[in-house]
Chain A
Amino acid sequence: QQQVKQSPQSLIVQKGGISIINCAYENTAFDYFPWYQQFPGKGPALLIAIRPDVSEKKEGRFTISFNKSAKQFSLHIMDSQPGDSATYFCAASMGGNEKLTFGTGTRLTIIP
């Protein structure tokens, strides 16, 4: 019930391409869905977040698409760059409960 499933485990995208990472959840009480970016040996950094009242949120090259009925959300990275190579985690939490439930992570590699 508390799980957030993330796919793929690893992803290789050519420079300039679109990187897409997907997450699915079961608990309909989740109402906050952030994405974090983590570089090796560093802590995660908040990238972008969305709430269920909108279906899409865009910040620069990063877009979250949210499908409430399917209980799925995804991260799209447009014009992917080598500097985007990192591990990405989706997460979810319930209003009033601050614990984040993390996905298993996606290791993204952008090749020239």
Chain B
Amino acid sequence: GAVVSQHPSWVICKSGTSVKIECRSLDFQATTMFWYRQFPKQSLMLMATSNEGSKATYEQGVEKDKFLINHASLTLSTLTVTSAHPEDSSFYICSARPLTSGGQETQYFGPGTRLLVL
């Protein structure tokens, strides 16, 4: 149980284009989903928290107009990197917190999406 998927698993795009990454909770409903960014050999950096049906909360320093987050349902959140540039190349990981979990803070992570902007 508690499986989170991401699509695509990797994407290569040209500079200036937009890329959409999907995060789905497959066997549970998630009131809250999180988006992280991870550079090689570094820790996870929280980008934003999204709650179903409301606007995402972005962490300090994260451009909300560049990283658009939509949490349209209890099982799907999307991250769109708009006008991507090479410095946006990174490993993007989502996580989801089940609607009903024994420990309220439990987060389950997706497998990640590797983005390479040329």
Contacts and interface: CB of A to CB of B under 8 A. Distances in A.
B97 interface: yes
A46 B107 contact: yes
B44 interface: yes
10 contacts: A41-B91, A41-B114, A42-B111, A46-B107, A49-B105, A98-B34, A100-B107, A102-B43, A105-B42, A105-B43
Given A43-B4, A99-B49, A105-B43, 7 more contacts: A34-B107, A45-B109, A46-B109, A49-B105, A89-B44, A100-B34, A107-B41
A44 B114 CA distance: 14
A49 B97 CA distance: 15
B83 to A, nearest CB: 26
- A32, A45, A98 interface centre (most CB from chain B within 10 Å): A98
Contacts of B93: 43-44
Nearest to B57: A99
B28 interface: no
For chain B, the bracket of interface size reads: 20 to 34
A85 to B, nearest CB: 15
Contacts of A99: 34, 46, 49
Interface string A89-112: 100010100111011110100000
Interface in B41-90: 41-44, 46, 49
A36 interface: yes
Contacts of A51: 103
A98 B43 contact: no
| Most B CB within 10 A of own CB, among A42, A44, A95 | A44
B43 A44 contact: no
Contacts of A98: 32, 34, 49, 97, 104-105, 107
A34 B46 CA distance: 16
A103 to B, nearest CB: 7
A96 B115 CA distance: 32
